[in-house]
C-alpha cells in the first residue's frame, strides 16, 4: 500500500509496477488528481490554469493498481492497517508512507485562520480567488490595504510566489483597473535576508531582482501573530488585506497521531528509508517524501524536502519492497542531489548545479528558463 500521490507516492507506484512484484498494489490519496506542488504559485497569482499542473490519477496509474480516494486518519502499525475516513480499516503487508506535508503554522497564533498557505491546489485556488476579489473591491473601497500583499516566509516558495506575483502585476492591475503604482508587496523574513542558507552570490542577485521589482523586505522580522488583515512583528502591527503564509512546511498530521518518533511531523528513517524502531516492530514500512527526514551522512543535517529527493526516495523504497517480497535484502539509499533551480517568473531564475565530482556551477537570469522547462518535463515524466 502506498499512501499519498505526490511526487514520492506516485513515482513509487510507477516503480513498483515496473518491477512487477508478485503483489497487489494499492494507492490511497485524498483526491482523485495529482498536482505539481512546485508550480502552485503560478496558479495562485493567476498565471497558470489548474489543468496545466494537475491530472486525473485514474487516467495515469496502471490499470492493475487499485486506487482508494479517501482521507488517511491514522496508521495502526501493530495490526498493519490504515484507518480511512470513509472506508474504515484497510490492511497492508508492506507500506510506503508518502503522505506529504502541511503548512507549518501552529506556533504562530492566527496564522492558519488569517493567512493563505500554498501547500495544496485548493490553497492556491483560494489565494487566487481572494486576490481577484480584493482587487475588485478596491475600485469601490479605495482602501490602500487592498493593494498590499504581505508574504510571511523567507524560503524558496516565498521567493517563487513573489517573483511570479510581480511578473503578473501588470496583467492584474490592467484586468481589474487598479493603479499599479500603489500596489505593494512586503516580505517578512525571520532572517536578515531570504534564502539565508542558499548560495550567497545567487541570493544577492535574487534580492536585487525582487527589490528592483518593488518588493519590500523586512529582514529579522519574525511574525509573532496574524490577525484579520494584520501581521504582528513583536509590538508592531502591519496592515495588509492579503496575507500569504510561506514559512515552511511540516509533515502530515497523521504522523504524530500514528505514534511515529518524529520532529515537525517528519520521521527519521534508517539508511534504507525504513522506520527507525528500537524493537524492530515495524519492519515492513518505508517513509519517503515530506514526511521523511533523511540525514546527509556527511553533515548530519536533514536534507530539505524537494521533488528530486522525493523521486529518488521513491525509487529506493519501491525497490526495497520488491526485494523483501522476494526474500532479499534492502538497498541503502544513496542520494546525490544535482542542484537547485528556482524560477523567478516565467522568463528568469537562478540555478546552482552540482556535477558528479561535487563542483558547482551558478546560473542566473533568462538562461535558466530552459532548465526550468526541462526540470518540469523531467518531473512530469517521472510520475506520468
List pLDDT tens digits, range 158-177.
Answer: 999 999 999 999 999 999 99
CA 144 to CA 2: how far, in whole Å? 48
The answer to whether 326 touches 338, Cβ cutoff 8 Å, is: no
Which residue carries 532572517 as its cell?
Answer: 191
As given in the structure block, the three cell numbers for residue 70 are: 479517501
DSSP conformation letters of 298-328: TT-PBPP--HHHHHHHHHHHHHHHHHHHTT-
Residue 382 has pLDDT above 70, yes or no: no
Mean pLDDT within 8-22 = 94
| Dihedral, 195, 9, 318, 274 alpha carbons, nearest 10 | 60
Q: Which helix (H) or strand (E) holds 181?
A: none
Distance CA 107, CA 190 (A): 14
- Residue 82 near residue 72, CB atoms below 8 Å: yes
C-alpha of 66 from chain center: 25
Higher pLDDT, 296 or 69: 69
Q: For position 278, what pLDDT does the model report?
A: 52
Q: What's the mean pLDDT in 42-53?
A: 95
Q: Pick from 221, 218, 146: which is nearest to 186 by CA?
A: 218
Band the pLDDT of 248: cuts 50, 70, 90: confident
User: Helix, strand, or coil here: 199?
Assistant: coil
Nearest to 316 by CA among 341, 294, 301, 298: 294
Burial of 294 (0-12, 13-18, 19+ CB in 10 A): buried
| Residue range 271-288: mean pLDDT, rounded | 78
The answer to whether residue 41 scores a pLDDT higher than 90 is yes
pLDDT digits (tens, 9 = 90+) for 83-134: 999 999 999 999 999 998 876 555 799 999 999 999 999 999 999 999 999 9
Residues 151/158, Cβ–Cβ less than 8 Å? yes
What SS3 state is found at 148?
A: strand
Query: 189-247: per-residue pLDDT in tens?
Result: 988 877 877 899 999 999 999 999 989 999 999 999 999 999 999 999 999 999 999 98
* pLDDT attached to residue 299: 85
User: What domains, with CATH codes, occur in the chain?
Assistant: 2-30+70-102+249-335 (3.50.50.60), 111-245 (3.50.50.60)
Given a contact cutoff of 8 angstroms between Cβ atoms, the answer to whether 45 and 161 are in contact is yes
CB 265 within 8 A of CB 253: yes
At residue 374, the pLDDT reads 76
pLDDT score for 336? 86
Share of the chain above pLDDT 70, in %: 95
Residues 273-290, mean pLDDT to the nearest whole number:
79
Q: Specify the pLDDT at position 192.
A: 83
Predicted local distance difference test score (pLDDT) of residue 355: 83
pLDDT tens per residue across span 134-149: 999 999 999 999 999 9
**Rounded CA Rg of the chain:** 22
| DSSP secondary structure code for residue 149 in this structure | E
Q: Is a pLDDT exceeding 70 seen at residue 277?
A: no
206 within 8 A of 344, measured Cβ to Cβ? yes
Q: What is the pLDDT averaged over residues 363-373?
A: 88
Whether 283 shows a pLDDT value over 80: the answer reads no
Give the Cα separation of 47 and 40 in Å (integer).
Answer: 10
Q: 55: which strand partners?
A: 34
pLDDT band of 31, cuts 50, 70, 90: very high
Q: Which residues contact 197 (CB under 8 A, 6 or more apart)?
A: none
Counting Cβ atoms within 10 Å, is residue 6 exposed (0-12), middle (13-18) or buried (19+)? buried
Secondary element (H or E) of residue 6: none
Question: What span, in angstroms and rounded, lies between the C-alpha atoms of 184 and 168?
Answer: 13
Is the pLDDT at 64 greater than 80? The verdict is yes
> What per-residue confidence (pLDDT) applies to 338?
84
Average pLDDT, the chain: 91
Is residue 371 very low, low, confident or very high in pLDDT (cuts 50, 70, 90)?
confident
Instruction: Flag whether pLDDT at 276 surpasses 90.
Output: no
DSSP string over 264-296: TTEEEB-TTSBB--TT---TTEEE-GGGEE-B-
pLDDT score recorded for residue 357: 79
Cα 339 to Cα 322: distance, rounded to the nearest angstrom: 29
The span from the CA of 245 to the CA of 151, in Å, is 6
The residue with cell 481577484 is 132
Average pLDDT score over residue span 300-329:
92
Q: Is 244 helix (H, G, I), strand (E, B) or coil?
A: strand
**% residues pLDDT > 90 (the chain):** 73
Amino acid at each position: 500500500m502506498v499512501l499519498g500521490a505526490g511526487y514520492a507516492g506516485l513515482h513509487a507506484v510507477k516503480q513498483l509496477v515496473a518491477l512487477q512484484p508478485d503483489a497487489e498494489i494499492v494507492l490511497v490519496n485524498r483526491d482523485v488528481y495529482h498536482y505539481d506542488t512546485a508550480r502552485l504559485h503560478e496558479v495562485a497569482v493567476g498565471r497558470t490554469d489548474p489543468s496545466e499542473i494537475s491530472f486525473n490519477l485514474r487516467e495515469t496509474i496502471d490499470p492493475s493498481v487499485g486506487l482508494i480516494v479517501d482521507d488517511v486518519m491514522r496508521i495502526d502499525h501493530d495490526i498493519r492497517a490504515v484507518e480511512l475516513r470513509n472506508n474504515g480499516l484497510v490492511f497492508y503487508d508492506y507500506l510506503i508512507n508518502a503522505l506529504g506535508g502541511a503548512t507549518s503554522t501552529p506556533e504562530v497564533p492566527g496564522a492558519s485562520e488569517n493567512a493563505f498557505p500554498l501547500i495544496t491546489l485548493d490553497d492556491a485556488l483560494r489565494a487566487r480567488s481572494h486576490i481577484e476579489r480584493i482587487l475588485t473591491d478596491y475600485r469601490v473601497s479605495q482602501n490602500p490595504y487592498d493593494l498590499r500583499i504581505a508574504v510571511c516566509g523567507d524560503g524558496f516558495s516565498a521567493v517563487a510566489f513573489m517573483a511570479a506575483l510581480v511578473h503578473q502585476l501588470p496583467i492584474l492591475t490592467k484586468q481589474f483597473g487598479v493603479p499599479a503604482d500603489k500596489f505593494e508587496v512586503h516580505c517578512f523574513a525571520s532572517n536578515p535576508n531570504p534564502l539565508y542558507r542558499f548560495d550567497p552570490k545567487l541570493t544577492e542577485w535574487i534580492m536585487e531582482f525582487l527589490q528592483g521589482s518593488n518588493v519590500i523586505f523586512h529582514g529579522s522580522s519574525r511574525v509573532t501573530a496574524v490577525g484579520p488583515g494584520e501581521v504582528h512583528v513583536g509590538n508592531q502591527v502591519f496592515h495588509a488585506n492579503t496575507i500569504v503564509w510561506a514559512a515552511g512546511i511540516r509533515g502530515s498530521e497523521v504522523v504524530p497521531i500514528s505514534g511515529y518518533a518524529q520532529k515537525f511531523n517528519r520521521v527519521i528513517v534508517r539508511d534504507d528509508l525504513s522506520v527507525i524502531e528500537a524493537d524492530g516492530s515495524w519492519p515492513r514500512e518505508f517513509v519517503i517524501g515530506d514526511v521523511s527526514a533523511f540525514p546527509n551522512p556527511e553533515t548530519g543535517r536533514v536534507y530539505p524536502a524537494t521533488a528530486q529527493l522525493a523521486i529518488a526516495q521513491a525509487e529506493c523504497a519501491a525497490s526495497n519492497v520488491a526485494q523483501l517480497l522476494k526474500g532479499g535484502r534492502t538497498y541503502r539509499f544513496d542520494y546525490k542531489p544535482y542542484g537547485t533551480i528556482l524560477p523567478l517568473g516565467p522568463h528568469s531564475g537562478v540555478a546552482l548545479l552540482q556535477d558528479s565530482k561535487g563542483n558547482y556551477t551558478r546560473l542566473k537570469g533568462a538562461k535558466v528558463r530552459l532548465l526550468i522547462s526541462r526540470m518540469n518535463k523531467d518531473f512530469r515524466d517521472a510520475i506520468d
